[in-house]
Amino acid sequence: ATTLRGHADARGVRIGAAVADGPLRSEAAYTTVLDREFNSVTAENAMKWDALEPNRGSYNWGAADRLVDHATSHNQGVRGHTLVWYAQLPSWLKNGNFTAAQLNTILQNHISTTVGRYKGRIYAWDVVNEAFNEDGSMRSSVWQDKLGTAHIASALRWAHTADPAAKLYINDYNIEADNAKSDALYALARQLLAQGVPLHGVGFQSHFVLGGVPASMKANLKRFSDLGLEVSLTELDIRIPLPASGAELAQQSTDYKTASENCLGVPRCAGVTAWGLTDKHSWVPGTFSGYGAALPYNEGYGAKPAYTGLSNGLNPN
């Protein structure tokens, strides 16, 4: 049977998975599935600021380099995740009480250093992650509070200077439907484009609950695509109340197909990334108590009905 990456390659799109460093290093089944089925990878944690620069001025590239090297040797592209975020900041930065001018310099240096290191090896960066509240206002963060919304344009410009070929994204969750949050992002995207800011894509994380793929998703993605932006599903998973029944696994398969078709049916959809590959290593049970089974492979690395749904969503025939 054709693999996920076989279908994706045939369509010229990306099928990705978030990768955790632990299993990448230690589980043969993990890399076997990853390399057979996926033509793109995202570091689940290794490129976040707290992982890269736990102490000021001393970078720790080990896990990030390992993933980029792995991808290169298995003919996979890399999505970079993420440069500007309110969370997973090192404590020296979180608690540093820096002035606006200092923060601006700190952010510029971080972006230039990180994007510059992987220049030419990362095809897309989630430059800005989760900048909005659910009501469409800007989320409070060290960046927003001290630098205002202008930090978003600055970050995109710095990233573009460091790697002019990388596609630069704003990424968020609960923006898959047409709602207050996606309306606010749409307004910001239009404004940035009108100002000539190098914004190239919008990442729709797509952390769904079973049966919860929004009815307005395709039309919502299309309005961003109509601005000339790429659209991608960047963190797809579909959580189920545990234990998952056969009927629920079948519904999940339908949901994976619908979600991937909602992207691939829109012009300028660059691809779909799942937030992991196996239920054995998923953030879901640790965050949503009583939920899990969110990914295309079960804990024993068996392909679930969700795998077939995703495969059918990628394969137009």
Site string for ligand G3I, 114-153 (x = CB under 6 A): ---------------x------------------------
> Which residue in 163, 235, 255, 261 binds ligand G3I (CB under 6 A)?
235
**What secondary structure does DSSP assign to 191-229, as a single string?**
HHHHTT----EEEE--EEETT---TTHHHHHHHHHTTT-
Give the count of residues interacting with ligand G3I (CB under 6 A).
Answer: 8
x-marked contacts with ligand G3I along 201-230 as a string, rule CB under 6 A: ----x-------------------------
Mapped onto helix, strand or coil, the DSSP state of residue 245 is coil
- Contact flag: residue 232 with ligand G3I (CB under 6 A): no
Is 176 one of the binding residues for ligand G3I (CB under 6 A)?
no
Give the distance, in angstroms, between the CA of residue 44 and the centroid of all CA atoms in the same chain: 9
- Taking residue 285's Cβ as centre, other Cβ atoms within 10 Å add up to 15
Among the listed residues 186, 208, 283, 297, the single contact to ligand G3I using CB under 6 A: 283
Dihedral sign of CA atoms 68, 198, 237, 15 in order: negative
Instruction: Provide, rounded to whole angstroms, the least separation between the CB of residue 238 and ligand G3I.
Output: 13
Q: How far apart are CA 98 and CA 75, in angstroms?
A: 41
List the catalytic residue out of 37, 44, 53, 130.
130
Minimum CB distance to ligand G3I, residue 232 (Å): 14
CB-CB contact of 257 with 251 (8 Å):
no
Which one of residues 4, 5, 16, 44 is an interface residue with ligand G3I (CB under 6 A)? 44
- State the minimum distance, in angstroms, from the CB of residue 291 to ligand G3I: 13
Q: What is the DSSP string of 124-189?
A: EEEEEE--B-TTSSBPP-HHHHHH-THHHHHHHHHHHHH-TTSEEEEEESS-SSSSHHHHHHHHHH
Residue 297 CA to residue 295 CA, distance in Å, equals 6
27 in catalytic set: no
Q: How far apart, in whole angstroms, are the C-alpha atoms of residue 311 and residue 266?
A: 17
Nearer to ligand G3I, 54 or 164 (CB): 54
* Closest residue by Cα to residue 169 from 146, 180, 185, 148: 185
> Which of 2, 55, 62, 87 is close enough to bind ligand G3I by CB under 6 A?
87
Task: For residue 176, indicate whether it is catalytic.
Answer: no
- Nearest approach in angstroms of CB 144 to ligand G3I is 17
Query: Site residues (CB under 6 A) for ligand G3I?
Result: 44-45, 87-88, 129, 205, 235, 283
**Catalytic center residues:** 130, 235
